[in-house]
Chain A
Amino acid sequence: MKSILVIGHNDLRLFFKSKAAYVWLFAVPLMFVYFVGAVNRGPGDPANRKPPVLVENLDTNFLGRVFLDELGAQGMWLLDPTNRGSAARTVRIPPDFTRNVLQGKPTKVEYAEREDSAEADAALLELRLVRALIALNSHLLETVTRFGPLERLTENELRQAMNRPDPVTLNAHFAGRHPVPAGFNFSVPAILVMYLMMNLLIFGGATLAAERRNGVIKRLMVYPVTHAAVVLGKIYGLLLLGAAQTLFLLAAGKYAFGVNVGANLPGVILVLLEFSWVAGSLGVLAGSLLPAEDRVAGICVLASLLMAALGGCWWPLELAPPALKAVAFCLPTGWALQALHQLISFGGGLGATVKPLLVLAAYGVGANLLAARFFRS
């Protein structure tokens, strides 16, 4: 056991002696998280998008402000005229909005289309604008019923009514299928899985091939260390490397990209450590089977990119045809991502990840046995 730890810790120290390790473990994955996350999301929670809308509030009284709050509560991202770049539509509240409403006169809130805006966002905005108007009318009606005539209505009375719990609420869930993970909620686990597989395969395989070439593995074998301890020590070193990358990217995901992994953090870490064990074992296997570092690097890059793409790291599996989904579930990347999306995007607990964890454990044991079988000095 001691020799496993000694070999593993030494390997970790060696990895961090290389400047390239920092680039491939931290810098490049971080850039990919940002890039993939940015192209896969708009602002807001990906499962509950907040399309941007440009608001011009010309009303100087309270009802305009209350209406804006209602627009926000209905799921719009309100932009002021100084920040109009990405808005899909424009909402204009007229100057006499409060006065007209309180006098019971119909008043028009203008809703204008902007060129080059996304159709999906525009449709969502129209829906939410209608919901906001209905909600405002409902609150006015409720306030009048409780506090008296409309013309004497105050902002405080209206907000009291708005803050009361709704007597009826609708709790909607996706029926029979999951929502599609998007934005950084998709990119953080996906890029983490892809780069764990790629780095542990390449670092594990190339390091082993290099150490075999320069005689270090032979030297290890003349010490009072068993064959199994050397193999496990190498895998343990890669597991530590995977843990370092996991912790860094999860922290970056939380603090830089706002991904909420807090509720299921132990589960997320467990899945990623188990996946690192699988990837590390495959790396040692690659280093045992392939003769030289350049071969290891070439084949492992290809293999990890294929496993990443087919396992759902490049696009959500929820969007993939059934055949591709079936392929994904033949790969450890597919199972790892399924478990992570359960924990991060679908609100599942550790119980929902039992099956993926068991499948990954089977991969780990299989890869371990093969790595030990083909390991050579």
Chain B
Amino acid sequence: MGLLRVEGLAKNFGAIRAVDIISFEVRAGEIYGLLGPNGAGKTTTISMISGLLKPDAGEVFVGGARFGSDPQQAKRHMGVVPQDLALYEELTGRENLEFWGRLAGLSAVEAKRRATELLEALALTERARDAVKTYSGGMKRRINLGCALLHRPPLLLLDEPTVGIDPQGRANILEFIGRLRTGGTGILYTTHYLEEAESLCHRIGIIDHGRLLAEGTLKELQERLGGDRVFVLEADFKDTSPEAWDGFHERFRVLQKSECQLVVAALGSRDPSACLKDLLNLPVRIANVMVKRPSLNDVFLQLTGRDLRE
């Protein structure tokens, strides 16, 4: 049984279908990544799971219990880190932590004790008595994360927690999240950064236009492309169509085609050199060929026909 189970969740905003019947599960000690571009429906999904938005359809189960049957109890099991820095900038880091801990139900003494521990874990002890408004972006992100952890929730919902910070700050946060996962916390992690999803998440759901297009481990998703190699061809493809090439579709899957570039994945388990030979024999003058391991972006490309970075 997962810590979090989402079944057939859907949400409309007027005529816009923000989330279109998605289902997934987050287990204890697992980081489940919800990967998609801005506007894909990630935040709306987290808002429905945390009770901020009422779903038009579907159910959320937290710790096996239906969220709607006892929302307060379900909320006690989860910590939510919003994408925005939802902090009291005039208060110190310690005061922020203690306030959110008290609100989660801790006594004043317990909130104080856990705030001290968290400040240490987040490497913020030296700045604990400074107002948050004086913090750097990375420090604010760390406090933003810490505020959701005072009551030690078994389930953590992280909505793009590293947006807008420098690589060092991002690395610190990702390392901290990794430690939480090791401690048994189940984490739902939304992001539009491919690298984060690839390096951090055990399972990944790819979401676009409100629909969960695919999910699985990184390896499972890569295998959807039909092999472990992707070929990027550069040539003039303006007046050509791969459909017209004899036998091409039995050997390759087109991931993306533009006027000057064609991205394909090899089908089956053929040797890369054989694939390369086939591609160089295509009836088009190839200017350059690049071979690489398939990334999540290639999976996204295959699923949506566009680049996640666009």
Chain A residues in the interface with B (C-beta under 8 A): 2-3, 6-7, 10, 13-14, 17-18, 214-216, 218-226, 377
Contacts and interface: CB of A to CB of B under 8 A. Distances in A.
Contacts of B91: 13-14, 17
Q: Which one of A13, A218, A219, A226 has the highest number of Cβ atoms from chain B below 10 Å of its Cβ?
A: A219
B4 to A, nearest CB: 14
A7 B103 contact: yes
A236 to B, nearest CB: 14
A13 B95 contact: yes
B70 to A, nearest CB: 10
Contacts of B99: 6, 10
B90 A18 contact: yes
A225 B147 CA distance: 15
A225 B52 CA distance: 12
A221 B51 contact: yes
Given A214-B87, A216-B88, A219-B82, 20 more contacts: A6-B103, A7-B103, A10-B88, A14-B91, A17-B91, A214-B85, A215-B86, A216-B86, A216-B87, A218-B52, A220-B103, A221-B52, A222-B50, A222-B51, A222-B78, A223-B100, A223-B103, A225-B103, A226-B72, A377-B52
Contacts of B131: 17
Nearest to A377: B52
Q: Which one of A10, A13, A14 has the highest number of Cβ atoms from chain B below 10 Å of its Cβ?
A: A10
A222 B103 contact: no
Nearest 4 pairs between A and B by C-beta? Answer: A215-B86, A215-B84, A219-B86, A224-B75
Interface in B50-96: 50-52, 72-73, 75-76, 78, 80, 82, 84-91, 95
B270 to A, nearest CB: 50
A3 B103 CA distance: 6
10 contacts: A6-B102, A13-B91, A215-B82, A215-B84, A216-B87, A219-B100, A222-B75, A224-B73, A224-B76, A226-B72
Nearest to B47: A218
A13 B92 CA distance: 11
Contacts of A377: 52
A215 B81 CA distance: 11
B104 interface: yes
B39 interface: no
Contacts of B103: 3, 6-7, 220, 223, 225
A261 B131 CA distance: 41
Q: Which one of A6, A215, A221 has the highest number of Cβ atoms from chain B below 10 Å of its Cβ?
A: A6
Q: Which one of A10, A215, A220, A222 has the highest number of Cβ atoms from chain B below 10 Å of its Cβ?
A: A222
Contacts of A17: 90-91, 131
A275 B278 CA distance: 84
B305 interface: no
Contacts of B183: none
Contacts of A7: 103
Interface in B232-264: none
A365 B103 CA distance: 26
B73 to A, nearest CB: 7
A218 B102 CA distance: 17
B9 to A, nearest CB: 17
A213 to B, nearest CB: 9
A218 B80 CA distance: 10
B283 interface: no
A28 B90 CA distance: 23
B164 interface: no
B82 A218 contact: yes
B82 A224 contact: no
Nearest to B157: A222
Given A6-B99, A10-B99, A224 B88 contact: no
B207 to A, nearest CB: 20
B110 to A, nearest CB: 13
Q: Which one of A10, A216, A221, A224 has the highest number of Cβ atoms from chain B below 10 Å of its Cβ?
A: A224
B151 to A, nearest CB: 9
A219 B147 CA distance: 10
A14 B87 CA distance: 12
B105 interface: yes
Contact of A223 (B75, B87, B88): B75
A230 to B, nearest CB: 10
Contacts of B89: 214
Nearest to B46: A222
A215 to B, nearest CB: 4
A60 B85 CA distance: 82
A226 B91 CA distance: 24
